[in-house]
């Protein structure tokens, strides 16, 4: 079973620093990273900067299309007109089919604001207490959703490049 975790940080650069922590956890075999991306939202910016962590993506990574859709739903819907918003709303609904429900989307959207950053990671086989210990002291808040094997397979089928 895969987990989509979102580590939210109280500064725009916090997620960049956490990338090193994540790499250390992988080297210690404390979790397996399937794919990852960082969102950084400087306080003065109108929208966040996003980037996929290609060096962290494992075999079967979901790719840019998945992250683009997820980040579009999370951060840009309020800026889109009503007519386009209806179409994007349908796309947002389709994320539920792959285990990313409205509550998760609302929760992440309410937490990631200007002046913050986030590390989005699709993982499995995590030693949770050791992972939590590694992020302690980084002023991080964990939001996550677990995906069933069926949801994970559908997600890979839809978004693998």
- Structural domain count, the chain: 1
Domain residues for the domain of 113 are 2-159
Per 3-state DSSP, the chain is made up of helix, strand and coil in percentages (nearest 5) of 45, 25, 30
Chain segment 68-98, per-residue pLDDT in tens: 778 877 876 443 344 444 444 555 555 555 5
Chain segment 104-132, per-residue pLDDT in tens: 788 888 889 999 999 988 888 888 788 88
Chain segment 23-54, per-residue pLDDT in tens: 999 999 998 888 888 999 999 998 899 888 87
Apex 50 CA angle, 59 and 147, nearest 5: 45
d(CA 117, CA 113): 8
Kindly report the pTM of this predicted structure: 0.76
What is residue 79's predicted lDDT score, i.e. its pLDDT?
39
């Amino acid at each position: 079973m895969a987990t989509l975790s979102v580590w939210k940080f109280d500064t725009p650069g916090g997620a960049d620093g956490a990338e090193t922590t994540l790499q250390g956890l992988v080297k210690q075999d404390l979790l397996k990273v399937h794919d990852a991306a960082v969102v950084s939202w400087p306080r003065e910016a109108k929208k966040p900067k996003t980037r996929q962590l290609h060096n962290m993506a494992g075999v079967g990574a979901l790719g840019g299309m998945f992250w683009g859709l997820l980040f579009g739903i999370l951060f840009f819907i309020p800026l889109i007109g009503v007519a386009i918003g209806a179409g994007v709303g349908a796309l947002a609904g389709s994320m539920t089919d792959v285990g990313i429900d409205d509550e998760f989307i609302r929760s992440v959207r309410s937490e990631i604001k200007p002046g913050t950053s986030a590390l989005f990671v699709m993982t499995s086989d995590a030693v949770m207490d050791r992972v939590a210990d590694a992020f302690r002291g980084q002023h991080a808040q964990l939001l996550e959703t677990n995906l069933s094997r069926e949801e994970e397979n559908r997600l890979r089928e839809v978004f693998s490049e």
